C-alpha cells in the first residue's frame, strides 16, 4: 500500500494536530505524516484533566504549552527530540476492522521492519519493558488515525512536569519516567529511518486545500492559569 506522505520539520505540535485532524476528517487518502524538531509542549488526550496529570505551577512557570488533542490516549511531554509518525488509513485498504487493539497490532507490524526489535506492550511500543513510543488513536467509520510519539532522546528534567497517572500500563508498575523510558538514538540511524518512511509513498502536495475543507476541530490549547 502506498501512502500520501507529508514530512514536516520544526512544526509545533499544535499545528501538527490541526493538520492531522483535517486529513482524518476531510480527506480520504491513506496518509503518513512525519514531524521532528517541535518546540517543547505537553499533550493530553481528549479526556485528560491537567490538575490530575501535570504539575501545573511548574509548567506555568516554565512557559510550557499544554494542548488537548482530538484523540484519546495518555499525556506526553514532547520536544525537539521527539519523532512523530502519524498513520491515517482507510480500514478496507489495510484489511482490518479498525478495533483499537487491532490497530495497535497492525501498527507494530508496520514499524517492525523499520525499527528492529520493537514490540507492542499494552498500548505502547517498547524494547523489553522500556517504553520508546506512546500511541494515541482516533477511530471513525471506515477510517482511523494512529499517532506515535517516538523518543529519539528525552530530557529527564522535562519529565518532571508529569505526575504519575492513576491509570497507567500494568507493565510500568510505579516506575518513574527515568526508569520506564528508553530512546531510539542508540538503536537506529535517524536518516535511514526517515528515508525508509519516504519510500513508502509520494509527497502530498495539496495540503492547503485539505486544510481549507470544512471539518470538525477538537484540538485545543489549554489555559492552566485559570
Q: What is the pTM of this model?
A: 0.96
User: How far, in Å, CA of 81 to CA of 41, rounded?
Assistant: 12
Q: Residue 70's closest CA among 134, 105, 129, 18?
A: 18
Given pLDDT bands bounded at 50, 70 and 90, which one contains residue 202?
very high
The answer for residues whose C-beta is within 8 angstroms of residue 207's C-beta and 6 or more apart is: 6, 19
Q: Where in the chain are the domains? A: 3-203
* Dmax (CA) of the chain: 47
Please give the pLDDT value at position 133: 98
pLDDT tens digits, one per residue of 42-69: 999 999 999 999 999 999 999 999 999 9
pLDDT value, residue 167: 85
Buried b (16+ CB within 10 A) or exposed e, 156-187: eebeebbeeeeeebeebeeeebeebbbbbeee
Within 13 Å and on the Cβ side, how many CA atoms surround 69? 29
Condensed to tens digits (0 to 9), the pLDDT of residues 87-132 reads 999 999 999 999 999 999 999 999 999 999 999 999 999 999 999 9
Distance separating alpha carbons of residues 92 and 155, to the nearest angstrom: 40
Half-sphere exposure of 108 (CA within 13 A, CB side): 17
Give the CATH class of 3-203: alpha beta
Question: What is the structure's pLDDT at 96?
Answer: 96
Q: Which residue has the higher pLDDT, 167 or 36?
A: 36
pLDDT tens digits for 11-38?
999 999 999 999 999 999 999 999 999 9
Q: What is the pLDDT of residue 141?
A: 95
What are the pLDDT digits (tens) for 132-160? 999 999 999 999 999 999 999 999 999 99
pLDDT at 165: 87
Sorting pLDDT into bands at 50, 70 and 90, what band is 226? low
Amino acid at each position: 500500500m502506498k501512502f500520501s506522505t507529508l514530512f514536516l520539520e520544526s512544526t509545533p505540535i499544535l499545528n501538527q494536530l490541526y493538520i492531522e485532524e483535517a486529513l482524518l476528517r476531510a480527506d480520504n487518502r491513506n496518509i503518513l505524516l512525519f514531524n521532528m524538531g517541535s518546540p517543547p509542549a505537553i499533550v493530553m488526550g481528549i479526556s485528560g484533566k491537567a490538575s490530575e496529570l501535570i504539575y501545573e505551577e511548574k509548567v506555568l512557570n516554565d512557559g510550557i504549552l499544554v494542548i488537548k488533542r482530538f484523540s484519546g490516549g495518555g499525556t506526553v511531554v514532547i520536544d525537539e527530540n521527539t519523532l512523530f509518525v502519524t498513520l491515517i488509513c482507510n480500514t478496507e485498504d489495510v484489511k482490518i476492522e479498525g478495533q483499537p487493539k487491532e490497530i495497535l497490532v497492525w501498527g507494530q507490524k508496520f514499524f517492525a521492519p523499520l525499527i528492529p526489535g520493537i514490540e507492542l506492550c499494552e498500548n505502547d511500543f517498547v524494547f523489553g519493558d522500556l517504553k520508546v513510543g506512546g500511541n494515541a488513536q482516533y477511530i471513525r467509520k471506515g477510517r482511523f488515525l494512529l499517532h506515535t510519539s517516538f523518543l529519539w532522546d528525552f530530557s529527564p528534567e522535562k519529565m518532571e512536569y508529569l505526575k504519575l497517572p492513576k491509570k497507567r500500563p500494568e507493565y510500568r508498575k510505579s516506575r518513574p519516567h527515568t526508569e520506564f523510558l528508553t530512546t531510539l538514538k542508540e538503536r537506529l540511524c535517524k536518516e535511514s529511518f526517515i528515508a525508509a518512511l519516504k519510500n513508502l509513498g509520494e509527497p502530498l502536495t495539496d495540503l492547503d486545500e485539505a486544510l481549507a475543507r470544512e471539518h470538525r476541530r477538537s484540538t485545543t490549547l489549554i489555559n492552566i492559569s485559570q
